[in-house]
């Protein structure tokens, strides 16, 4: 039976992406090959608990959710996440996967909504972007840029236009909390008439940086 190293499983409001605001079960896997400078889940780099796939499914079912988000860390760093995603879809949940974009997206169940980061220069991990993953995304998926400053914004805007990202799927622009003022980013997006969705992290507005909410 497949096992996964799990950092935490909890029920909260979705703070990001298309299903923001909906009660959601989060399955956070342990481990990540990246070290983004703004990471807010460094506790998930190590530790965690080995759980059988059936036990993960049972824990999720106990919350009676509609939405389930598999996140990390970097969930795709564990190959056993692929059958887990399929089983979650088979159980009737609306499933999303949050990934850094540094791992191959091949093999993800087509029913899963993939929310893929593109790492900016300010993240410190821009060289880890796997641009070939773009061809694996569909209209239901989302691309996310987390922006540290104006330089990140200008770089992300170039990628948006040169790679025609908004014609492929929805694109999200988010400010790094404490580094880029949300109103500044909002003004830039409006001034440049960018075809992106401005996004704040709802969970941080409600609960700050408290984990497991």
* Residue 190: CATH number of its domain: 3.20.20.70
Query: Cα–Cα distance between 173 and 141 in angstroms, integer?
Result: 15
Paired with 67 in beta bridges are 24, 94
Instruction: Tell me, yes or no, whether 190 lies in a domain.
Output: yes
Helix, coil or strand: residue 34: coil
Whether 110 is covered by a domain: the verdict is yes
Q: What is the extent of the structural domain holding 142?
A: 3-207
Please list, in sequence order, all residues whose beta carbon lies within 8 angstroms of the beta carbon of residue 198, skipping any fewer than 6 positions away.
173, 174, 185, 186, 189
* 65 DSSP assignment: -
Q: Is residue 183 part of a domain?
A: yes
In a domain, 131, yes or no: yes
Q: Is residue 25 part of a domain?
A: yes
Q: Determine the Cα–Cα distance for residues 141 and 147; give it in Å rounded to an integer.
A: 20
Contact between residue 208 and residue 183 where contact means Cβ atoms under 8 Å apart: no
In order along its 213 residues, the chain shows pLDDT tens digits of 589 999 999 999 998 888 899 999 999 999 999 999 999 899 999 999 999 999 999 999 999 999 999 999 999 999 999 999 999 999 999 999 999 999 999 999 999 999 999 999 999 999 999 999 999 999 999 999 999 999 999 999 999 999 999 999 999 999 999 999 999 999 999 999 999 999 998 888 888 866 444
Sheet with 94-99, strands from edge to edge, namely 49-52, 3-13, 23-29, 67-71, 94-99, 113-117, 142-147, 170-175, 197-198
Q: Note whether residue 73 is domain-resident.
A: yes
Asked, for residue 213, whether it belongs to a domain, the answer is no
Counting the structural domains of the chain, the total is: 1
In a domain, 138, yes or no: yes
| CA 151 centroid distance within chain | 22
């Amino acid at each position: 039976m497949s096992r996964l190293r799990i950092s935490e499983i909890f029920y909260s409001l979705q703070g990001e992406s298309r299903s923001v605001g909906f009660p959601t079960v989060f399955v956070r896997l342990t481990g990540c090959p990246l070290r983004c400078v703004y990471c807010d889940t460094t506790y998930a780099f190590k530790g965690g608990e080995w759980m059988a796939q059936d036990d993960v499914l049972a824990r999720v079912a106990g919350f009676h959710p509609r939405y389930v988000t598999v996140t990390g860390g970097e969930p795709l760093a564990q190959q056993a996440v692929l059958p887990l995603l399929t089983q979650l879809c088979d159980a009737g949940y609306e499933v999303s996967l949050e990934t850094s974009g540094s791992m191959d997206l091949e093999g993800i169940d087509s029913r899963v909504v993939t929310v893929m980061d593109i790492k900016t220069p300010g993240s410190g991990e821009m060289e880890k972007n796997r641009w070939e993953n773009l061809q694996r995304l569909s209209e239901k998926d989302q691309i996310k840029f987390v922006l540290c400053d104006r330089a990140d914004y200008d770089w992300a805007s170039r990628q948006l236009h040169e790679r025609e990202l908004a014609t492929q799927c929805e694109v999200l622009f988010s400010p790094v909390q404490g580094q880029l003022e949300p109103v500044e980013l909002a003004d830039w997006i409006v001034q440049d008439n960018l075809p992106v969705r401005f996004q704040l992290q709802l969970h941080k507005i409600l609960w700050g940086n408290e984990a497991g909410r």
